[in-house]
Structure 1
Amino acid sequence: MTTSVVFIHGLWIHSVSWLPWRQLFEDRGYHTLAPHWPGDRDTVAATRADTGRLLDVGVDEITDSYAQVVKDLPNAPIVVGHSFGGLIAQKLLDRGLAAGAVCLSPAPIKGVRAVPLSLLRSSFPVLRSPANKRRTVALTERQFAYAFGNAISSEESEQLYNELTIPSPGRPLFEASTANFRKTSPTAVDTHRGDRGPLLLIAAGQDHTVPSVVVRGAHQLYVRQGAPADLRTYEDRGHSAPFDHGWLEIAEDTLAWLGEHDLKP
């Protein structure tokens, strides 16, 4: 029986960022996919050149897109997501569509109260204008260096910016930022469920975009309400952790965790 792993990228990063993970996981016997968000093109350059299809794409549209990919697979896959991809991974697990989920620096689910200053600063390029809710927004190199590249060298940050970044829809950030002020929200996840697959939340101690306190807040929601969830923190890592020079350590640890939970090929 084939065990599939679906990789889900976050805001401002193209799915090509998962190529090293895909190669490693396939070498270990998994079948892997890294689908695009609705509106993304096949390459970084093509997505930068045509952002029209990304307008007004929100969390529900992204989740539904991945749900369709998952439903087309012969068995429920493992989902691995970064940033907003980590939020999407939790929603897929909540829907019963995934055998397990690994969420790296996941965007906050509804109910997480921590709002550190660095999170606000990282989100400011989008949230500074209400009109951005229905626009796409691209980060400048300097904004990327703060939000993603603060724990790596300026040279590596510049390289990652040039190779991986794409404009992204602003709507998901507006949905996340207002979630706790609304009765319902696309970022809501049922943290009471104990009948779902295993969940691993990964925090990065130097992360400006999703600080570790935000990830711990999500973990506490699950634990307090009786739903199993594991938490690991890499104290010296930033938001670029899944695709910078140190990606292999986290990927190998993820494989080990999957093995501990019998999510093996």
Structure 2
Amino acid sequence: MNPVLEVIDKGRCSEAHPAPLLFVHGGSHAAWCWDEHFLDFFADRGYRVLAPSLRGHGSSPTSKRLLTCSIADYVEDVCSVANNLTAAPVLIGHSMGGFIVQKYLQTHSAPAGVLITSTPPHGHLGAQLRLIRRHPWRSVRSLILGKTSILFCTPDLVRESFFCAHTPESIVARTTARIQDESPRAIALDMTLLNLVRSKDVTTPLLVVGAEEDGTYSHAYVRATAAAYHTEAEFFASVGHDMMLEDGWRAVADRVHTWLGSHGL
């Protein structure tokens, strides 16, 4: 049986914006990351917005150990929320959540999708190797213990991967306190080898955005994601990987809003 997920649900669909927006969080995060700024921003503009916490994240339960949860499990979670809506949602995914959105769109239709500093369709291996080179002993401990949070357990480590150098300490500290373990199965196996995206099967129009100061995914990764879907990546200055939590979040939200409007959404 699918777990009953925590879902933050705000606003309502309007004549101007008939499609709900379904936000999918990245690894080691939960629905809270969208609720800081983005959900109210879009709800105030006439959208219904929903942000689930994937199983084992936030307040969402899981019927099996988190370390064995797969990308397919997470896609199933997204389906469980989308299938209960009266209209097909726009999917907006961050990091691992962007990868999950791409996997969902392989087999489901949607009016549009937005990939924010997303894992590329070819996977996470390059970023994982870069993190191992930066922190070899922490990476070994994380792998042995099955606890990815070892890699993000201090404000300095969180800033390095998720924020830019000038992000206020208060934002970094608040995020550090909320970072949790992620499934090694999903990160180290599915997103590197076992369950990569068949981008040719995705026909949904996509907006692909990246951060100029992303400590997780390089510009080349973001451009590769855009190229896979025959579009151009758009980069935002003075923000890091967690664009929706940075001081510059509004510029990103404004661009998503404008792009959705250009697609009649």
Q: TM-score, normalised by structure 1?
A: 0.80
Q: 1:71 and 1:136 mapped to 2: Cα distance?
A: 32
1:38, 1:53 within 8 Å by CA — same for their partners in 2? no
Pairing 1:27–2:44 present:
yes
Shift of 1:166: 2.1
Indicate the residue corresponding to 2:197 in structure 1. Answer: 188
| Percent of aligned pairs sharing the same letter | 25
Indicate the residue corresponding to 1:247 in structure 2. Answer: 249
- Judging changes above 3 Å, is the alpha-carbon distance between structure 1 residues 42 and 117 closer, same or farther for their aligned structure 2 residues? closer
Shift of 1:192: 2.3
Indicate the residue corresponding to 2:27 in structure 1. Answer: 11
Indicate the residue corresponding to 1:182 in structure 2. Answer: none
Pairing 1:140–2:131 present:
no
Indicate the residue corresponding to 1:161 in structure 2. Answer: 175
- Judging changes above 3 Å, is the alpha-carbon distance between structure 1 residues 177 and 55 closer, same or farther for their aligned structure 2 residues? closer
Higher mean C-alpha deviation, range 143-152 or range 112-121: 112-121
Q: 1:217 and 1:112 mapped to 2: Cα distance?
A: 12
Aligned-partner SS, 2:98: helix
1:174-253 matched pairs, under 5 angstroms: 174-175=188-189, 178-179=192-193, 185-189=194-198, 191-193=199-201, 196-223=203-230, 229-253=231-255
| Deviation sequence 1:10-67 (CA, Å, 0-9, x none) | 1122211111211111111111110011122439xxx9xx997423112111111111
The answer for unaligned runs of 5 or more in structure 1 is: 180-184, 224-228
2:24, 2:92 within 8 Å by CA — same for their partners in 1? yes
| Aligned CA-pair RMSD | 3.0
Q: TM-score, normalised by structure 2?
A: 0.80
Shift of 1:97: 3.7
2:71, 2:195 within 8 Å by CA — same for their partners in 1? yes
1:148, 1:208 within 8 Å by CA — same for their partners in 2? yes
1:99-138 matched pairs, under 5 angstroms: 99-110=111-122, 118=130, 120-121=132-133, 125=138, 130-131=143-144, 135-138=146-149
Aligned-partner SS, 2:242: coil
Aligned-partner SS, 2:239: coil
Q: 1:22 and 1:257 mapped to 2: Cα distance?
A: 17
Higher mean C-alpha deviation, range 123-132 or range 101-110: 123-132
Q: 1:72 and 1:126 mapped to 2: Cα distance?
A: 39
